[in-house]
Structure 1
Amino acid sequence: MTTFVILSIALSAAVLLAVLWPLWRDARALVLAGVATLGIATFALYRVVGTPAALEPQATATMPTTLDDAVTQLEAELAKQPNEPEGWRLLGKSYAALQRYDEAQKAFERAVQLLPTDADLLVEAAQARLFNNAERKLDAQAMALLDKAIAIHPDHQRALWFVGLAQRQEGKHAEAAKTWEPLLAKVDPNTAATLRTQINEARADAGLPPLADTAPAPVADATPALLTVTVDLAPALKDKLAPGDTLFVFARQVGGPPMPVAAKRLPVDTFPVTVPLGDGDSPMPTLKLSQLPQVQLVARIAKGNGPAAQTGDLEAAAVTADVKAGNSYALTIDRVVP
């Protein structure tokens, strides 16, 4: 039991540092906050296993030196103690961090078998199925997990976000907008502003008018920028600008769902314009920019209601970017969407 607890703590540290290390040089406060979170996770593991001696200095289990080593040791401990749901949850997260999505899905499935009424775990299991799907879609089993999570926790924000995403993937745009609209009153102003853009895009695809803009203005974002994007407009396209045009700059998963992990909507004014993107620009707390090693950056001047490409829009070629504080990229809008 002692070995299991120490491995779990070490693996939590390994996963956390793997995510936060790229931010250390430019965002030490954020990293230190993450380490504080690790302390909370340690206490939670103590509660699950219930072995105070495992947290004391005399515990002698060998500490792993890499994330891969920690995963291997945790696998061995779970083979001996297969009925620890938190261990399977942590193993699933670790597999996902290593992009071993098939194994992550199986680990979360086992965790759900052991803890079937944990709404957060059900959503994590559905997300694992999304990442393991070749088309990056939520299949019927993932939807069943989300439905069960919502039955347990009707206001679960991540579950509702994923349900709306699935509806968008199925072409049920009006239903997606209806699913997401109640979330506007539950999230912070910055998140609500980005979510409103997603809702209006869904409404536009459904042939509906945009929501009335009654939301409070977003507050200044305290989270650090992870990427800086400079957007310019090719001189040959300047005469195609029109009143009411909107500039969208967003980051999305490489090879993942089309929904952005960070996005900003700006008036078309002067070029070039420099846009910082960070975790505060994520539409929903399902996936943050800092959780991804790479993203695709997109810039588009929309003639319609949302960032989805439409005929006549002006756009730049997408650029793959490494997510690391201080990294800067340049996009030039130089083509018309056919």
Structure 2
Amino acid sequence: IAGVLALVIPLLAGALYLQLGAWPVIATPPEGSADLDRLVDNLAERLAANPEEREGWILLGRSYAGLGRQTDAAQAFGKALALERDDPEVLSQRAQALALQSNPPQWAGEPAQLLDEALALDADHPRTLWLAGVAAAARGDAEAAGRHWRHLLTLIGPEAPVADTLRQALAQIGQSPESADSGPVEAAVQPGPTVRIALTPDLAATLSAETTVFVAIRDNPQGGMPVGAIRKQVADLPLSLVLTDEMSLMPTRRLSSLETLWISAHVSSSGLAQGATDDPRAGPVSARWQPEEAVSLVIGEQATPVGASP
């Protein structure tokens, strides 16, 4: 059995690498997975006869996860953990498999406990930091998610293949890639335009005071990753704020460096920066980086520059 596993495991691992790639983990089955299904079934049969082969259970769990068989993946990772518990990689993989059994993923309960256990073993473990951030964002704790993902970004470096993914994830939850203790972004010589944000009365009557409102500043009207963002609540509106470079999401790209700012706002029912397609929105409206500029965003109706004709 051990000799057969020695042949099957490298073959399956190579197939998984080619089809699934590296971290972050793919949560849906890859195309052309029929051959992988056969390899996985063969490995499962051999492990049933040789249940002490821990590396085989780990590979089987990863294989099931890549094929979208999350219940089977969680069970396989559980077998591996029964043989050796102190492994943050396997703990985090079982947490992910358990969470992904539901749609949307459910991180409360055992998945969260497994991630806490993994972080206690290794506070710098990349997969665990990523998933802990996902779990925190899912429960609406953007600050905790930001801490996990900023720490991970520091560990992997700004040029790592997944660094852009992390920066985009941070922007989605209204968090800066820079930690609070790294100092604010250097202020511009002069402040930027004033942005006034309000809700239509009809819309305000339907929302709770704690509902999240995001203001995004981009370099184009089409969308994409914001250059700057502000997170508020319905209770804060109506609101008038002056844009500054401290609202930039990346210290290497300041708001004051943009030739034209495209400003939009939306109510986020999920609490995430991107929001849902049916979330009430306003904008985008353009402005220049000048203190005398002002724009008005009324969520629920079209945004127009202050003083412009309706």
Q: TM-score, normalised on structure 1?
A: 0.49
Name which of 176, 183, 195 aligns with 2:166.
195
Cα 1:314–1:153, aligned 2, differ >3 Å: closer, same or farther? same
Q: Residue 146 in 1 paired to residue 147 in 2?
A: no
1:49-98 superposed Cα distances (whole Å, 9 cap, x missing partner) = xxxxxxxxxxxxxxxx9322211211111011101111011111111222
1:245 has 2:218 as partner = yes
Whether the aligned pair in 1 keeps the contact of 2:87 and 2:118 (CA below 8 Å) is yes
Structure 1 or 2, whichever has the larger Rg, is: 2
Q: Counterpart in 1 of 2:64?
A: 95
Could you tell me the percent identity over the aligned residues?
27
Query: Alignment RMSD, CA only?
Result: 3.8
Q: What is the TM-score normalised by the length of structure 2? A: 0.53
CA distance in 1, matches of 2:38, 2:111: 30
Asked whether 1:117 is paired with 2:78, we answer no
Q: Secondary structure at the match of 2:13?
A: helix
Distance (whole Å) between structure 2 residues aligned to residue 76 and residue 128 of structure 1: 21
Larger helix proportion of the pair: 1
Moved more, 144-153 or 303-312: 303-312
Secondary structure of the 1:303 match is strand
Q: Distance in 2 between matches of 1:195 and 1:90?
A: 26
Which residue identity does 2:8 align to in structure 1? L
- C-alpha contact 2:99 2:107 (8 A) present in aligned 1: yes
Aligned partners of 2:63 and 2:52: how far apart in 1? 18
Aligned CA distance change for structure 1 residues 160 and 243 (closer, same or farther; 3 Å):
closer
In 2, distance between residues paired with 1:246 and 1:111?
49
Corresponding residue number in structure 2 for 1:15: 16
Aligned residue in 1 for 2:294: none
Q: Is the 1:4–1:77 contact (alpha carbons within 8 Å) kept by the matching residues of 2?
A: yes
Describe the SS at the equivalent of 2:16. helix
Which residue among 52, 61, 68 is the counterpart of 2:37? Answer: 68
What does residue 303 of structure 1 align with?
264
Give 3-state SS (helix, strand or coil) of 1:186's partner.
helix
User: Structure 1's 107 and 313: CA in aligned 2 closer, same or farther, altered over 3 A?
Assistant: farther
Are the aligned partners of 2:174 and 2:273 in contact in 1 as well (CA < 8 Å)? no
Query: Which consecutive aligned stretches of 4+ in structure 1 deviate over 6 angstroms post-superposition?
Result: none
The 1:141–1:337 alpha-carbon spacing in structure 2 relative to 1, beyond 3 Å, is: farther
Give the 3 Å change call, closer, same or farther, for CA 165–17 of structure 1 in structure 2.
closer
CA distance in 1 between counterparts of 2:166 and 2:221 reads 13
The letter of the residue matching 1:161 is W
Q: How does 1:173-322 map to 2 (within 5 A)?
A: 173-190=142-159, 191-192=162-163, 194-203=165-174, 212-213=184-185, 244-246=217-219, 264-265=225-226, 303-304=264-265, 307-309=273-275, 311-313=280-282
Provide the C-alpha distance between the structure 2 equivalents of 1:97 and 1:166, rounded to a whole number of angstroms.
20
| Residue type at the aligned position of 1:4 | L
**Contact residue 119 and residue 149 of structure 1 kept, 8 A:** yes
How far did 1:185 drift? Answer: 2.4
Distance 1:194 1:76, change over 3 A: closer
CA-to-aligned-CA distance 1:304-335 (integer Å, 9 cap, x gap): 598423642569xxxxxxxxxxxxxxxxxxxx
Cα offsets for 1:242-297 (capped at 9, x unmatched): 994355999xxxxxxxxxxxx85579xxxxxxxxxxxxxxxxxxxxxxxxxxxxxx
The number of residue pairs the alignment matches comes to 198
Query: Which secondary structure state, in structure 1, belongs to the residue aligned with residue 156 of structure 2?
Result: coil
Unaligned runs of 5+ in 1: 21-29, 31-64, 215-241, 251-262, 268-300, 316-335
C-alpha separation in 2, matches of 1:302 and 1:115: 52
C-alpha contact 1:14 1:66 (8 A) present in aligned 2: no
Residue 281 of structure 2 aligns to a residue in which SS? Answer: coil
Instruction: State the 1:168 CA deviation.
Output: 1.6
Distance 2:52 2:87 in 1: 15
CA pair 13-303 structure 1, distance change in 2 beyond 3 A? same
- Tell me which amino acid in the other structure corresponds to 1:195: L
Q: Secondary structure at the residue paired with 1:70?
A: helix
Residue in 1 that maps onto 2:132: 163
